[in-house]
Chain A
Amino acid sequence: MPVDAKRANLPPLSLHVPEPQFRPGDEVDFSDVAVPPAGEQPRPDTAADPGTFHELAYTLVRVLDEDGNAVGPWNPRLDADTLRTMLRNMALVRAFDERMFRAQRQGKTSFYMKCTGEEAVSVAATSALAADDMCFPSYRQQGILITRGYPLIEMMNQIYSNKGDKLQGKQLPIMYSARDHGFFSISGNLTTQFPQAVGWAMASAAKGDTRISATWCGEGSTAEGDFHSALTFATVYKAPVILNVVNNQWAISSFSGFAGAEATTFAARAIGYGIAGLRVDGNDPLAVYAATQWAAERARTNQGPTLIEHFTYRAEGHSTSDDPSAYRSAQEWSSWPLGDPIKRLKDHLIGLGEWDEDRQAAQDQELAEMVRKTQKDAEKNGILGHGMHQKFETMFEGVYEEMPWHLKEQMQQMLDEDDAAGHPGPKR
């Protein structure tokens, strides 16, 4: 049948393909991003019925107002030491990112991913968890490790895949694993950690434990089927889990519209599953802390899971392999209405009389120096590209608990190749 033969009386259908507001070179105007005043969002009881979260799934929970004051029912009323620790950890994440990004540019490693602008999402959230709660992160929550005191040198060794790397050079840089710090092995496959986190939480509940789990994914990753599976399992078994969606507006070059953001919020996804949903100013460390603390209490009292959308902005390229100027306006970050999480916490502490610009500058310097010195130490273990740092046999170890015959055979083949090549690797 010819396309227009039969139903010429009907208007033609049209396909909607989302398009971000701004492209390279565009003047950026974010005035239509709804930013409700801080302090005006209600804080329900942690046992509240999931059916009552409609408003909180569409607004933004905010604590820090324009003048840096902590206001409203979500104010977690943290003492100055805790605030300063959070500020320091966020600043350390940023200093670390700067240094490692540069290391990649200097050819010392193959790959790196920053979380600039999103430091609160991991640091403040982790600060509100117990040290033995289990985290199932994506690749952009290095702040969890830093908040939990994981040694920077271990992170760097992993990034360099050097001889100090506990993962034996098996994983792409930043795909950390730190069991002792409650940090699950990062996978390259997006959103697989979501049902895993739910399963961990279910196991904890089934065993009558008191620990909960938390997981993170980007807003782009919510489109994966695992996201749906995880939310279904979480609600069915009332799993003690916190499901964090980091809405940083971008998934590589795709704006959040391609994950469905034009039609609704990511927190609103929770409503259809019967899960408590909170939408939070992700650049407000106090709001992130308060929401996590609330969700943790809800989970710990067997009230079930919480989905938290952290509304934030990916200030830098997706990774060292990405050039964001090819798809978005460079002005976006400077125009972002929710500002910079580090600056906002700093201003708050200064407002409280608990901090000042000099101390901030001194701390920045101290952290940069510490990262630089640690980097020097890490580089003593080698950098990527300066030879192969792992014993060749390690390639075959850990595929299975015990090495089967065919891997032993292949290992021997490789060792013979090593002999033939004049032993480029470290001594066996």
Chain B
Amino acid sequence: MNMIQAINSAMDVMMDRDPAVVVMGEDVGYFGGVFRATAGLQEKYGKTRVFDTPITECGIIGVAIGMGAYGLRPVPEIQFADYIYPALDQLVSEAARLRYRSAGEFIAPLTVRSPFGGGIFGGQTHSQSPEGIFTHVSGLKTVIPATPYDAKGLLISCIEDNDPVIFFEPKRIYNGPFSGHYDAPARNWSNHPGGEVPTGYYRIPLGKAAVTRQGAAVTILTYGTMVHVVAQTVEETGIDAEIIDLRTLMPLDIDTILESVKKTGRCMIVHEATRTQGFGAELSAVVQERCFYHLEAPIERVTGFDTPYPHSLEWAYFPGPVRIRLALEKILKD
């Protein structure tokens, strides 16, 4: 399966298992979503469980919260993460706080799915990586898969979770892993182990990272599309890096991170999102606080630049193989 099919399969499995699961969003119903993630679901489960919505993100999330309060388990889609901002108030002030402010009387068991990230010539408003906004909000969980297998298992866990989850889907790797070499021929998931996806029910627990490459020289913390770009660069440079795909940013798998950094003594953080106050800053702080005496070099952050996401200069902006290689050389210098 590719990642779209895996995500579709997760929703299919959950809708079949649990009549409380409903899917909603712009173009998700009859048409099956602009990325086809919900294709076939309306036909299978009917219009009252899979439905198109008006174009109002604050409405989509607000309505989903009300449905959650009723006892449903909504899976709203925000067409692009770049368009989640109109819903911020409902997410930050309502979904994230509902359990807390009602001392558990009401909960918001939503899973907000949204394609995110760049690498597709999406320009300013189809490329953003706003995860750092959500990891900052107590009460929200933030999950980002890097393979079809993980996407399905994580999404099922999110839908079953009783807390509101932001599930960001790296759309650059919907159809295949991305090496970072934008001029190389596109790959698909069929030759990647992460593309083998069971058709039935399985879960990947939230809050658990995956060590996707064992290594001794440096720990690289990353997620989403960058897991693959990092893997390619590590292979090309021959550096014995340990790559950790965080999978869940909040709550963070601190144990896996610390164990690795204490072993390697070096830590690099890679994400597409802009640098200043990006999630990398939190990762860096956490590692610095807890591994200070194990660190042999300053922690490196390889990120997008602090600019809006450009269109024509995308590949100068994107934290690709060159930026990663230079950072690796720097961190391994002494």
A binds B: yes
Q: Which residues of A are found within 8 Å of B22, using beta-carbon distances?
A: 203, 206
A204-B70, A400-B139 known; A405-B106 Cβ under 8 A: no
Interface residues of B in 43-74 (CB under 8 A from A): 48-49, 53-54, 56, 58-59, 61-72
Which of A179, A233, A236, A404 contacts B207 (CB under 8 A)? Answer: A404
Q: Give complex CA distance A175, B68 in Å.
A: 20
CB of A398 within 8 Å of the partner chain? yes
Stretch from B85-93, B186-194, B298-306 forming part of the interface with A: B85-93
> A171 contacts B93, CB within 8 Å?
no
Instruction: Give CA–CA (A228, B55) in the complex, Å.
Output: 11
Q: How far is the CA of A410 from the CA of B101 in the complex (A)?
A: 19
Chain A's nearest CB lies how many Å from the CB of B283?
Answer: 13
Bound-state CA distance A203–B94 (Å) is 18
Known: A167-B103, A401-B163. A202 touches B67 (CB 8 A): yes
Tell whether B252 is near chain A: CB-to-CB under 8 Å.
yes
Q: Separation in Å of the B159 CB from the closest CB of chain A?
A: 14
Total cross-chain contacts (CB, 8 A)? 146
Taking CB atoms, residues of chain A closer than 8 Å to B48 are 205-206
CB distance from A132 to the nearest CB of B (A): 12
Report Cα–Cα, A406/B253, bound state, in Å: 10
Please state if A167 and B63 are interface contacts (CB–CB under 8 Å).
no
- CA separation between A229 and B139, bound complex, in Å? 24
Q: How far is the CA of A196 from the CA of B49 in the complex (A)?
A: 17
Specify which chain A residues have a CB less than 8 angstroms from the CB of B141 in the assembled complex: 400
Q: Give chain B residues whose Cβ lies under 8 Å from the Cβ of A196.
A: 62-63, 65-66, 69, 94
Q: Which single residue of chain A is at the shortest CB-CB distance from B74?
A: A199
Contact among A170, A195, A236, A406 for B62, CB-based, below 8 A: A195
How large, as a class, is the contact surface on chain B? 35 or more
Look across to chain A and name the residue whose beta carbon is closest to the beta carbon of B46. Answer: A206
B59 in contact with A400 (CB, 8 Å): no
* B 144-163 contacts with A by CB, 8 A: 161-163
Contact-size category for A: 35 or more
A195 near B101 with CB under 8 A, answer no
Residues of B within 8 A of A230 (CB): 59, 62
Q: A187: which of B64, B93, B163 is its contact (CB, 8 Å)?
A: B93
Who on chain B is nearest to A211 by CB? B70
How far does the alpha carbon of A240 sit from the alpha carbon of B44 in the complex, in Å?
A: 26
Q: Tell yes or no: B238 within 8 A of A by CB.
A: no
Interface residues in A167-204 by Cβ distance below 8 A to B read: 167-168, 170-171, 175, 177-179, 184-185, 187-189, 192, 194-204
Set B72, B102, B251: member contacting A167, Cβ < 8 A: B102
Which A residues touch B56, using CB under 8 A? Answer: 225, 228-229, 232-233
Measured CB to CB, the nearest residue on chain B to A205 is: B48
Asked whether, in the complex, the Cβ of B86 is within 8 Å of the Cβ of A199, the reply is no
B183 interface residue per 8 A CB criterion: no
Residues facing B in A150-169 (CB within 8 A) are 166-168
Could you say which residues of chain A place their CB within 8 Å of the CB of B102? 167, 177, 179, 185
- Whether the pair A199, B103 counts as a contact (CB closer than 8 A) is no
Could you list some 17 contacts between A and B, CB below 8 A? A170-B101, A187-B94, A189-B89, A195-B66, A196-B94, A203-B72, A204-B70, A226-B89, A228-B56, A229-B58, A233-B56, A398-B103, A400-B139, A400-B163, A400-B251, A405-B251, A406-B251
Sort A-B residue pairs by CB-CB distance and give the 3 closest, nearest first: A199-B66, A195-B62, A229-B59
